[in-house]
Amino acid sequence: MFGSHATAPVEPEETPAETGPDVRRIAVIGVVLALVAAGGAVAISLVGGDDTAAAACTSASTTTVTMSVAPAMADVVDEAVDALKDNGQCIELDVTTANVAEVAAAQAEVGEGEDDVLPDLWVPDSPAWQSVLTKADMTGRVLAPALATSPVGLASGSTAKPRATWLDALASPQLVKTDPLASGAFGQALVAPLSEALEGEAAAAQNAIVPIAQRYGAKAASGRTNPVTIDTIPAGSKRIIPVTEQDYLTARRGNETLTWSLPKTGAAVLDFPLVQPGAGSGGIAVGSGALDVAGRTGDKLAAWFASEDGIAALAAENLRGADSAPLPDEQTVEADPILPDPDKGQVDATMKSWAVLTVPSSVLAVIDASSSMGTAAGSSTRMGLAVGAALTALDAFPDHARIGLWGYSIGLGGGSQDWRELAPLRRLDAPTGNGKTQTDLLREQANVMPTLIGGGAGTYDTVLDAYKAATREFNPAYYNSLVIMTDGGNEDPGSISLDELLEELGKLHDPDRPVRIIPVGISTQADMSALDQIAAATDSQAYEAADPQDILTVLAQGLLTRD
């Protein structure tokens, strides 16, 4: 897990330790510790207070507790483990160094029916950690809200212009944006506006990250995701980088031109909590489950971090204790005032929004143009509402999104072809001639849709052909989807059957190159049973707008709900 290794019995202390670039020895103080530097994995046997107890522990009597530790905390955790004494249990603590992005990536590789790879104990380094548990259908238990803390400010290669708020800093073109799962400092900067927001303004603060996320997503889609870092920023650079106090002090040893600044509202604070991911949901236990070995081990670690020795060890690594009290004068930075912690639910929602917004969308939209789409709906028609929803959604897509448009009804494409391509799938900012772009073309063709109404719905043949087209145009930098908007069922007597369609979709769907079909059923006349099965064939979900006037809301839900 995250580069961990199989552990072997540790020899008594007097046995000469093997030396070399991959292995080092730590003295035994009630703990036998083997640290494998390569891969960041640690195997620890907590075997009691003397060598006799150590010898009594066998592989059959030893319980393994897995633990993932943020890189910033790795050395201090070594000290904590070295200081532990346990006189009652034989426990092997398998410790791996990984940031939240690496933990999330490992969990994402877990196949259906396989066990989660989340550790029994976790010290994450980004506020995005809760989102990782949520995606794994876990809540976990926080054993310590913070083993350590580090204020987050803004570093630059020159004297930075003072920012009024974190929101101002995030909107700055000089800001270096990165993945909040990989950079805890950026993650904390991203949620800092939630702490700044006055009562009732949290939603506005969350919405404000939309253009920031989309700009980052545009760079990711273009392959331009190698930002300046605190270790590479040149002297005189006006770029600003969210950075922890710990990383700033470390980097400044080799670059005295670095400057530190804070928005006027204050410093955000990155916490390093101790979390038990599986608590209450299949977590490790001994015997009947009454004895929570992982929890007990975590409690001992937390107690050490709160001790004088623990706080001193943290300070030696430029980390503050749980109370965020300043480091000694010669090594601290200005971090006053400190912003309050944002609401955990709002943090989770913000991180989820970021994950959705930064992955650009590739959408082939296919709209039913059969006669029933001319049915009145309020002051408009079903087609009018569908086109209006599509145009409104178009306004929300950034320029780097890829959007295409088809209309369909029996014979609309000529002969036996039921579909007509109105705009090919390409980026919204792509030129289409005469000084116009794909966005302009989509607007023109969407307004043509009402003139195409007529005949029956050739849904099944169209879905199959559209899915083939969308899979041919698959782009791994995008979230690829096929959106079908229809108000009825398949009405083409000469088309393939539903079973045949599902069989073909099953053959075409590639989980490694996923294109998901998102059907939107308009009105209660939509065949939701068939649409549900079509969506499921591509690991997706169908949505129903029983009231056609809800099409926009339902469409947005379908586009934003991503696995």
> Does residue 88 lie within any of the structural domains?
yes
Statement: residue 24 has pLDDT above 50: no
Distance, CA of 367 to CA of 520 (rounded, Å): 10
Q: What is the structure's pLDDT at 91?
A: 79
> Does residue 350 lie within any of the structural domains?
no
3-class SS of residue 517: strand
Distance, CA of 437 to CA of 243 (rounded, Å): 39
pLDDT mean over 152-179: 90
> Does residue 239 lie within any of the structural domains?
yes
CB neighbours of 345 closer than 8 A, spacing ≥ 6?
none
Q: What is the structure's pLDDT at 391?
A: 92
Q: Are residues 141 and 177 in the same domain?
A: no
Statement: residue 353 has pLDDT above 80: yes
As beta bridge partners, residue 557 has: none
Q: Are residues 404 and 531 in the same domain?
A: yes
Q: Are residues 435 and 546 in the same domain?
A: yes
Interior angle at CA 526, CA 522 and CA 531, nearest 5: 100
Residue 197 or 387, more confident: 387
- Contact predicate 381/375, CB 8 Å: yes
Q: Are residues 488 and 388 in the same domain?
A: yes
> Does residue 396 lie within any of the structural domains?
yes
Lowest model confidence (mean pLDDT) among 160-174, 377-391, 494-508: 160-174
Distance, CA of 510 to CA of 246 (rounded, Å): 44
18: how many CB neighbours lie within 10 A of its CB? 11
Q: Are residues 120 and 159 in the same domain?
A: no
Distance, CA of 434 to CA of 436 (rounded, Å): 5
3-class SS of residue 133: helix
List the domain range (segments joined by +) for residue 251: 149-270
Q: Which residue has the tokens 């506006």?
A: 193
Nearest to 1 by CA among 176, 90, 120, 170: 120
pLDDT mean over 170-185: 91
Q: What is the structure's pLDDT at 61?
A: 64
> Does residue 349 lie within any of the structural domains?
no
Distance, CA of 519 to CA of 484 (rounded, Å): 5
Q: What is the structure's pLDDT at 2?
A: 47
Measure CA of the first residue to CA of the last residue in the chain; give whole Å: 23
Q: What is the mean pLDDT of the chain?
A: 84
Distance, CA of 239 to CA of 260 (rounded, Å): 12
Q: Are residues 286 and 423 in the same domain?
A: no
3-class SS of residue 95: strand
Interior angle at CA 370, CA 366 and CA 373, nearest 5: 90
Q: Are residues 325 and 448 in the same domain?
A: no
> Does residue 123 lie within any of the structural domains?
yes
> Does residue 16 lie within any of the structural domains?
no
Distance, CA of 546 to CA of 521 (rounded, Å): 7
CATH number at residue 66: 3.40.190.10
> pLDDT tens across 187-235, in order?
999 999 999 987 677 777 777 788 888 888 887 777 766 678 888 888 8
Q: Which residue has the tokens 């073309």?
A: 441
User: What DSSP assignment string belongs to 484-496?
Assistant: EEESS----TTSP
Q: What is the structure's pLDDT at 360?
A: 87
- 395: pLDDT confidence band, cut at 50, 70 and 90? confident
- Contact predicate 125/71, CB 8 Å: yes
Q: What is the structure's pLDDT at 437?
A: 97
Q: Are residues 398 and 517 in the same domain?
A: yes
CATH number at residue 171: 3.40.190
> Does residue 348 lie within any of the structural domains?
no
The sign of the torsion formed by the CA atoms of 233, 237, 242, 244 equals: positive
Q: Are residues 262 and 285 in the same domain?
A: no
Lowest model confidence (mean pLDDT) among 11-25, 345-359, 460-474: 11-25
Q: What is the structure's pLDDT at 40?
A: 40
As beta bridge partners, residue 520 has: 485, 543
Q: Are residues 266 and 394 in the same domain?
A: no
DSSP state of 62: P
Statement: residue 425 has pLDDT above 50: yes
Nearest to 418 by CA among 390, 379, 380, 456: 456
> pLDDT tens across 107-125, in order?
888 766 677 789 999 999 9
pTM metric for this prediction: 0.72
- Contact predicate 153/335, CB 8 Å: yes
- Contact predicate 457/490, CB 8 Å: yes
From the centroid of its chain, how far is CA 248? 25
What domain count does the chain have?
Answer: 3
Statement: residue 510 has pLDDT above 80: yes
> pLDDT tens across 71-81, in order?
999 999 999 98
- Contact predicate 258/245, CB 8 Å: no
pLDDT mean over 444-460: 96
Which two three-digit tokens encode residue 209?
A: 């990250």
CB neighbours of 6 closer than 8 A, spacing ≥ 6?
none
- 134: pLDDT confidence band, cut at 50, 70 and 90? confident
Q: What is the structure's pLDDT at 31?
A: 27
Statement: residue 491 has pLDDT above 80: yes
Q: What is the structure's pLDDT at 483?
A: 96
Main-chain dihedrals φ then ψ at residue 46, nearest 5 degrees: -90, 100
Residue 288 or 43, more confident: 43
Q: Cis before residue 337, ω within 30 degrees of 0?
A: yes
Pick the most confident of 19-33, 328-342, 439-453: 439-453
> pLDDT tens across 86-96, in order?
544 577 888 99
Q: What is the structure's pLDDT at 331?
A: 77
CB neighbours of 446 closer than 8 A, spacing ≥ 6?
387, 390, 391, 394, 405, 422
Q: What is the structure's pLDDT at 451?
A: 96
Q: Are residues 198 and 333 in the same domain?
A: no
Q: What is the structure's pLDDT at 201?
A: 75
Burial 42-52 (b: 16+ CB within 10 A, else e): bbbbbbbeeee
Q: Are residues 287 and 301 in the same domain?
A: yes
CATH number at residue 384: 3.40.50.410
Statement: residue 34 has pLDDT above 60: no
Q: Which residue has the tokens 């202390």?
A: 13
- Contact predicate 264/163, CB 8 Å: yes
Nearest to 241 by CA among 354, 167, 153: 153
